Amino acid sequence: MLQGKGLTLGVVESATGGLISHLITNVPGSSVYYKGSVTAYSNEVKAGVIGVTAETLDRYGAVSHQVAEEMAQGGRKLLAVDICLADTGIAGPDGATPEKPVGLFFLGISHRGGTFSRKHVFRGDREQNKRSAAETALAWLREYLTSL
């Protein structure tokens, strides 16, 4: 779909740790549209490389729709792509708070048509949560491309 629309793709991953990129590059010919990724696991990389503001991280926390959107926007600019996907979340088994449970993920997408986010709560173990987030991000990309 990306190739057919003449669009390029980049990814900024946090909690999925490169799994989205792995799934994309498993598709033969993906080098035509896929330009690369950044695994921004730490807040330092989210801010220093991707451009997420310290204010956003302090105010909302790394696992928030605001951070997912800033990651997608920053990645789109940094990677010079038409569309950028991003994720941030709590894969588990640790890291939860009363407000942010294990399995909470925010996905972001940025394109010239806008920047959007979606909240998901997955109910698996660490590996299952990462896999669910990656597959959900790619399904959302497919849905978004269909709407263009």
In the block, which residue shows the tokens 């035509």? Answer: 32
Is the pTM for the entire model greater than 0.95?
A: yes
Distance of CA 75 to CAs 51, 72, 133, Å? 8, 5, 18
Q: How many CB atoms lie within 10 A of CB 66?
A: 19
- pLDDT for residue 42: 98
Question: Rounded CA gap, 36 and 11, in Å?
Answer: 7
Which residues make Cβ contacts (< 8 Å) with residue 143, sequence separation at least 6? none
Give every residue of the chain whose pLDDT is below 50, as ranges.
none
- Identify the burial level of 5 via C-beta atoms within 10 angstroms of its C-beta, where 0-12 means exposed, 13-18 middle and 19 or more buried: exposed
The pLDDT tens digits for 48-64 are: 999 999 999 999 999 99
Q: How many CB atoms lie within 10 A of CB 140?
A: 17
- Identify the burial level of 86 via C-beta atoms within 10 angstroms of its C-beta, where 0-12 means exposed, 13-18 middle and 19 or more buried: buried
- pLDDT for residue 105: 98
8 Å CB contact between 23 and 134: yes
- pLDDT for residue 66: 98
- pLDDT for residue 129: 98
Joined together, the tokens standing for residue 113 give 């048509």
For strand 83-89 and strand 9-13, is the pairing parallel, antiparallel, or unpaired?
parallel
